[in-house]
């Protein structure tokens, strides 16, 4: 059973760019902590954390897998997160509930675009982290180069606490700058490194970098600063305590190095997780609000005697247990048989079982306390981002926000018997993944699925086939276009009158409409009604009418973004006015205002980075320009060029194949959604009036 001492628990995530070696690092951690008796490998498809068939085949992580292990006297809950940008929401929701993270970087690739995305996500949730620079055995490995990139690009105070011994083929181990000893890995498994004195040829470097470590610490830590000024040498314990304080305060990032694949340098990282990353008691109390009053702030401290509060951060469908809800418990103690309250659905949930997850294996436990991450089966009314709490002391914790999908596919069952299975599979998968949206297109009668990228939807279709036994026919990818306005319009009326004997309908409202500044994508409603020309009780109905009208624009029926609506005037009928009438009138006013405000079609623009050998730079840039791309800059990366560009998503389909053929398979690229931009006139016409060309289908 897990410890009741919260100071002995660490909730950490392993997060990084694709192919930096997250899963391999996690596998080594599981081997050294005694969870696994043999080392799993991503490329062999035997990694514990990559348990889905798709993960094993593709050699990538798709879902965040949770696992518990023990190192020395501490229990570590590890979540291995995906690196691919299509699954960025998995990283987001994991970081929301973690106390610390290990950021893994490739010693050759350094800080890549997705590394920056993950780092920003960790900044957003104020997650302390340590850096592990992996793949020191690869040709072109540069430990200090990556440390300076972390400093320059991510704005972090990244400081080496170990030094590599050798690099590339000659990488043997690390020098510990705190103890001033070297750890040399002599056997292949790396389980028993030898602690030796630093050889004479490295001693000067080690002293210099130790001095640098103390100086950098002194800049942010008063205790070390005073000792430094007084000429005192801090002890190892004092240095560790200072690094811990400043890492938790987000002012310091200790950097480690190693080669996970060659089993070198993992133990110092495990020690660092315990020494430098926070336990549940080291982080501030979690803040929530009252379900009845959003302005009332409620704190929950990580103690067992507090009222229970937990956040559901992930829903997964397990083939054996059914629907599993992963929860982080922030306060109190949970027992099997307890009844919890969900303020979002206003429903009670009975806890039949509490499970500790071990990747896709499960261990039943009787109770769980603050600081733990557990899975609860068969919760019917709890979604991702919901709070579970004590009914007598309700609280709503900060939920999670998810990005809107950018790409859509039409799907239909291959046979009539697949129809019910398809519906069941799609419901299960959309419960699991908040960025995956299923819709029925009323105009075409098609069912559409939307997600974060081609790979995301490819995996979804594959899971439908394997897990639910559904064979589907898939249409070509379609882009999630949007509509926006360019001008301000004033005093546009929407009037809905039905008065033909008996109880009629009467709604009348006048609005101003303008685009939001700086390319913002939301919706702002302003109530400027004076003198009661529209009664107060009908104002929410007007707002609802505007919001519903935003679901379908006037150009091609695409959702509308970036508008501000001011409700300025109107009239009502004492008998015939109703909420429904005002809702319809508001919708009519919105459509009319939009027609007058120069509507324009918007398309998703992707931030693309292509890493290519020098020889192919011209071909790659020419190809990006032909896709309406805008090259934003270029820099040297190891022995290749990294080209940054902004390209419309509609032009990026099939890019992977084209890039391979243009560069003989030597270049690779990453892409993530950046913003929406107006579509050029000629392209917009082709989208809105396909006339013989293939329809760029609606969302």
Tell me the per-residue pLDDT of 617-631, one tens digit each, with 9 for 90 and over: 999 999 999 999 999
The DSSP H or E segment spanning 105 is strand 100-106
Give the confidence band of 61 by pLDDT, cuts at 50, 70, 90: very low
Average pLDDT over residues 292-296: 82
Choose the weakest-confidence range: 76-85, 402-411, 584-593, 662-671.
76-85
The top-scoring range by mean pLDDT among 383-392, 396-405, 663-672 is: 383-392
pLDDT at 264: 87
pLDDT at 272: 93
Among residues 589, 640, 644, the alpha carbon closest in space to that of 615 is found at: 640
pLDDT at 278: 92
Instruction: Give the strand pairing for 563-571 and 630-637.
Output: unpaired
Average pLDDT over residues 125-154: 90
Provide, rounded to the nearest whole percent, the portion of the chain with pLDDT above 90. Answer: 24
End-to-end CA distance of the chain: 49
Residue 186 has pLDDT above 90, yes or no: no
Q: What is the mean pLDDT of the chain?
A: 83
Residue 88 has pLDDT above 80, yes or no: no
Q: Return the residue matching tokens 């546009």.
A: 492
The DSSP H or E segment spanning 119 is helix 113-124
pLDDT at 437: 86
pLDDT at 80: 65
Residue 607 has pLDDT above 80, yes or no: yes
Average pLDDT over residues 506-515: 93
Give the confidence band of 452 by pLDDT, cuts at 50, 70, 90: confident
pLDDT at 105: 92
Choose the weakest-confidence range: 160-174, 455-469, 560-574.
455-469
Give the confidence band of 194 by pLDDT, cuts at 50, 70, 90: confident
Residue 67 has pLDDT above 70, yes or no: yes
Phi/psi at 147 (nearest 5 deg)? -60, -45
CA torsion, ordered 146, 40, 276, 304, to nearest 10 deg: 140
DSSP conformation class of 17? S
Residue 256, SS3 per DSSP:
strand
Instruction: Give the strand pairing for 9-16 and 74-80.
Output: parallel
Within its chain, how far is the Cα of 654 from the centroid?
A: 25
pLDDT at 589: 94
Could you tell me the two tokens for 65? 């897998």
Q: Return the residue matching tokens 């067992």.
A: 304
Residue 70 has pLDDT above 90, yes or no: no
Helices (H) and strands (E) in the chain, counts: 16, 38
Among residues 401, 403, 404, 400, the alpha carbon closest in space to that of 559 is found at: 404
Residue 50 has pLDDT above 60, yes or no: no
Residue 367 has pLDDT above 90, yes or no: no
pLDDT at 28: 80
Average pLDDT over residues 648-654: 86
Give the confidence band of 37 by pLDDT, cuts at 50, 70, 90: low
pLDDT at 319: 64
Task: With beta carbons less than 8 A apart as the criterion, state whether 637 and 617 touch.
Answer: no
Average pLDDT over residues 101-110: 89
Using the Cα atoms of residue 251, residue 255, residue 261 and residue 265 in order, give the sign of their dihedral. negative
Residues 212-222: tens digit of each pLDDT: 999 889 899 88
Distance CA 369, CA 6 (A): 9
Residues 390-410: tens digit of each pLDDT: 888 889 888 777 777 778 888
Burial class (CB in 10 A: 0-12, 13-18, 19+), 67: buried
pLDDT at 698: 43
Claim: this prediction has a pTM higher than 0.85: no
Within its chain, how far is the Cα of 360 from the centroid?
A: 21
pLDDT at 693: 45
Give the confidence band of 2 by pLDDT, cuts at 50, 70, 90: low
Distances (CA, A) of 195 to 32, 122, 176, 258, 415: 17, 34, 10, 16, 65
3-state helix, strand, coil in the chain (%, to 5): 30, 30, 35
Distance CA 75, CA 92 (A): 23
Among residues 135, 126, 80, the alpha carbon closest in space to that of 105 is found at: 135
Give the confidence band of 691 by pLDDT, cuts at 50, 70, 90: low
Distances (CA, A) of 215 to 131, 233, 256: 19, 12, 18
Distance CA 545, CA 580 (A): 9
Residue 477 has pLDDT above 70, yes or no: yes
Considering only residues 665 and 9, tell me which one the structure prediction assigns the higher pLDDT.
Answer: 9
Considering only residues 135 and 402, tell me which one the structure prediction assigns the higher pLDDT.
Answer: 135
User: CA angle, corner 527, sides to 525 and 528, nearest 5?
Assistant: 130
Residue 185 has pLDDT above 90, yes or no: no
Average pLDDT over residues 180-205: 84
Average pLDDT over residues 216-231: 88
Could you tell me the two tokens for 17? 């760019």
Residues 485-499: tens digit of each pLDDT: 999 999 999 999 887
CA torsion, ordered 355, 358, 362, 366, to nearest 10 deg: -30
């Amino acid at each position: 059973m897990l410890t009741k001492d919260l100071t002995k628990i660490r909730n950490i995530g392993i997060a990084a760019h694709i192919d930096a070696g997250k899963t391999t690092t996690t596998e080594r951690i599981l081997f050294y902590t005694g969870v696994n008796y043999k080392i799993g490998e991503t490329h062999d498809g035997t990694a514990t954390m990559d348990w889905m068939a798709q993960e094993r085949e593709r050699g990538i992580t798709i879902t965040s897998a949770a696992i518990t292990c023990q190192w020395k006297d501490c229990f570590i809950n590890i979540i291995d997160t995906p690196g691919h940008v299509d699954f960025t929401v998995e990283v987001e929701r994991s970081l929301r509930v973690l106390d610390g993270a290990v950021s893994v970087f490739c010693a050759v690739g350094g800080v890549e675009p997705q590394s920056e995305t993950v780092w920003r996500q960790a900044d957003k949730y104020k997650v302390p982290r340590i850096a592990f620079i992996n793949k020191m055995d690869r040709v072109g490995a540069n430990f200090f180069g990556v440390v300076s990139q972390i400093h320059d690009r991510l704005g972090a105070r990244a400081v080496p606490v170990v030094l590599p011994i050798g690099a590339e083929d000659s990488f043997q181990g690390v020098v510990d700058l705190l103890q001033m000893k070297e750890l040399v890995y002599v056997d292949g498994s790396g389980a028993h490194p030898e602690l030796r004195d630093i050889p004479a040829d490295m001693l000067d470097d080690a002293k210099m970098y130790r001095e640098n470590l103390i100086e950098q610490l002194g800049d942010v830590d008063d205790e070390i600063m005073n000792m430094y000024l007084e000429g005192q040498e801090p002890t190892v314990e004092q240095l560790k305590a200072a690094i811990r304080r400043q890492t938790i305060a987000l002012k310091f990032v200790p950097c480690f190095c190693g080669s996970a694949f060659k089993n070198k340098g993992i133990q110092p990282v495990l020690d660092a997780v315990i020494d430098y990353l926070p336990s549940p008691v080291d982080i501030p109390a979690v803040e929530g609000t009252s379900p009845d009053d959003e302005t009332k702030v409620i704190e929950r401290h990580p103690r067992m005697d507090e009222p229970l509060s937990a956040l559901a951060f992930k829903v997964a469908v397990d083939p054996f247990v059914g629907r599993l809800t992963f929860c982080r418990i922030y306060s109190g103690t949970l027992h099997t048989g307890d009844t919890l309250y969900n303020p979002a659905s206003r429903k009670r949930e009975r806890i039949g079982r509490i499970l500790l997850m071990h990747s896709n294996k499960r261990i039943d436990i009787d109770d769980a306390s603050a600081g733990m991450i557990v899975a609860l089966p068969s919760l019917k009314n709890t979604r991702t981002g919901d709070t579970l709490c004590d009914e007598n002391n309700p609280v709503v914790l900060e939920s999670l926000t998810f990005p809107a999908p950018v790409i859509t596919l039409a799907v239909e069952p291959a046979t009539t018997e697949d129809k019910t299975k398809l519906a069941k599979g799609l419901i299960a998968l959309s419960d699991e993944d908040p960025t995956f949206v299923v819709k029925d297109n009323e105009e075409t009668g098609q069912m559409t699925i939307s997600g974060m990228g081609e790979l995301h939807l490819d995996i979804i279709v594959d899971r439908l086939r394997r897990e639910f036994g559904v064979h589907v026919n898939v249409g070509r990818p379609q882009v999630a276009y949007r509509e926006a306005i360019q001008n301000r319009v004033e005093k546009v009326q929407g009037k809905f009158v039905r008065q033909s004997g008996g109880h009629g309908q009467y709604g009348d409202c006048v609005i101003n409409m303008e685009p939001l500044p700086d390319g913002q994508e939301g919706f702002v409603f302003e109530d400027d009604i004076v003198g009661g020309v529209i009664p107060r009780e009908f104002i929410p109905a007007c707002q609802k009418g505007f919001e519903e009208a935003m679901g379908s624009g006037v150009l091609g029926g695409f959702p509308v973004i970036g508008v501000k609506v001011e409700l300025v005037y109107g009239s009502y009928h004492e008998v015939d006015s109703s909420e429904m009438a005002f809702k319809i009138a508001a919708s009519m006013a919105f459509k009319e205002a939009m027609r007058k405000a120069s509507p324009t079609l918007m398309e998703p623009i992707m931030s693309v980075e292509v890493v290519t050998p020098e020889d192919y730079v011209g071909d790659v840039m020419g190809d990006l320009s032909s896709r309406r791309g805008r090259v934003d800059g270029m820099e040297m990366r190891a022995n290749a060029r990294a080209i940054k560009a902004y390209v419309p998503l509609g032009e990026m389909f099939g890019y992977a194949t084209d890039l391979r053929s243009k560069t003989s398979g030597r270049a690779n690229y990453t892409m993530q959604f950046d913003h929406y931009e107006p579509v050029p006139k000629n392209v917009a016409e082709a989208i809105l009036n396909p006339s013989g060309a293939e329809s760029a289908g609606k969302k």
